[in-house]
Amino acid sequence: MNYLYAFAKEFLTLTWTVLPYFLGGAAFGAALDVFVKPEFALKHLSGGWLSMGKASILGMVLPGCSCATMPMADGLRRKGADLGTVTSFLLASPLVSPQTLVLTWAMLGWKFAAARALAAFCGAMTIGAIFLRLERSGFLDIPAPEPVKECCSACGCADGGETDEPRKFWPVFVDILKDLGKYFLLGMAIATLLTVLLPAGVITRYIGSSGPLAYLSAALLGVPLYVCEGEEIPLTLSLMKLGLGPGPAFAFLLGSVGTCIPTMIMSQKLIGRRGLLIYAAWWLLFALSSGILFGLVF
């Protein structure tokens, strides 16, 4: 009964604290979803350095987890975008969205939020440059994608037909709450369980708070883990409450939301087997180096 009471109290306190930020972020995400159309991306993101920059920024403002971005990335590729643009979008989109940035600020502080946005853009441009060079050199040996009609699955036309019906704010807002709400609550529940059940100092006792083992463990745990958008933030907070340092916590934050095993399986279609190995290795390095840099600065 004591554990049940402690769980309920911690869960309600944590949820009530961040719920306004979650709702505000969802509202902003819905507004962007309504007014920033996918056709814009398909029209302006064809290839080159400027295209990679646009893809990085667009990925950061459009809501979507690592798995949800795959149809959009496939649409970009089929429209003729180079792999630099596609991988820039793939990396930036799950790392930052309006609602997750607001939640990160609310639960972890402005330093985590600012570093998350900066890491997403810099990381997206870096991985885009790598894949742009690899594609132009012929190392990846990926066949050219087949062109598609103007309306494709990435544009939201599931049946292949055009539709002139405009998207409205409130239905999209409700859809975002339905999609993210369950993962938000699940993340809160897991974070509460970790806080209540695990003794204080357990992380520092076994892996250290910010040593090499802490960084490596956080990155290796985060990268293959499937964590939906927003769920990683309460998990990171709970790990910090248990003694994990800010640097390893930041490495876990980036690694857990950026990619996962389902994403890797889907991305093989776009970037091939060689590209997949490079992408996975780079993600691990990106999470580790970002965490170390964050720990040194903050």
Dist. CA 235–CA 254, nearest whole Å: 12
Q: How confident is the model at residue 69, as a pLDDT? A: 67
Q: Average pLDDT for residues 87-96, to the nearest whole number?
A: 84
Positive/negative CA dihedral, 284, 262, 33, 49: positive
Task: Encode 161-223 in three state secondary structure.
Answer: CCCCCCCCHHHHHHHHHHHHHHHHHHHHHHHHHHHHHCCCCHHHHHCCCCCHHHHHHHHHHHC
* Average pLDDT score over the chain: 77
Q: How confident is the model at residue 197, as a pLDDT? A: 79
3 — pLDDT class (breaks 50, 70, 90):
confident
Most confident of 35-49, 124-138, 213-227: 124-138
161 — pLDDT class (breaks 50, 70, 90):
very low
By C-alpha distance, which of 42, 58, 62 is closest to 147? 42
Dist. CA 123–CA 116, nearest whole Å: 10
Q: Please report, as a single letter, which amino acid is at residue 113.
A: A
Q: Average pLDDT for residues 72-82, to the nearest whole number?
A: 72
Q: How confident is the model at residue 248, as a pLDDT? A: 93
> In this model, does residue 162 exceed pLDDT 50?
no
144 — pLDDT class (breaks 50, 70, 90):
low
By C-alpha distance, which of 22, 21, 11 is closest to 195? 11
> In this model, does residue 80 exceed pLDDT 70?
yes
Q: How confident is the model at residue 277, as a pLDDT? A: 86
Q: Average pLDDT for residues 227-237, to the nearest whole number?
A: 78
Q: Do residues 3 and 142 make contact, with C-beta atoms less than 8 angstroms apart?
A: no
Positive/negative CA dihedral, 108, 114, 115, 119: positive
Q: What pLDDT, in 10s, does the model give residues 165-205?
A: 667 888 888 887 787 677 678 777 877 887 787 776 667 77
Q: Average pLDDT for residues 223-230, to the nearest whole number?
A: 63
By C-alpha distance, which of 298, 276, 244, 239 is closest to 119? 298
Q: What pLDDT, in 10s, does the model give residues 121-135?
A: 999 999 999 998 988
> In this model, does residue 206 exceed pLDDT 50?
yes
Q: Please state the pTM of the whole predicted model.
A: 0.73
> In this model, does residue 112 exceed pLDDT 90?
yes
CA angle 61, 95, 227 (to 5 degrees): 125
SS percent in the chain: helix, strand, coil, step 5 = 75, 0, 25
Q: What pLDDT, in 10s, does the model give residues 54-75?
A: 888 888 887 665 555 666 676 6
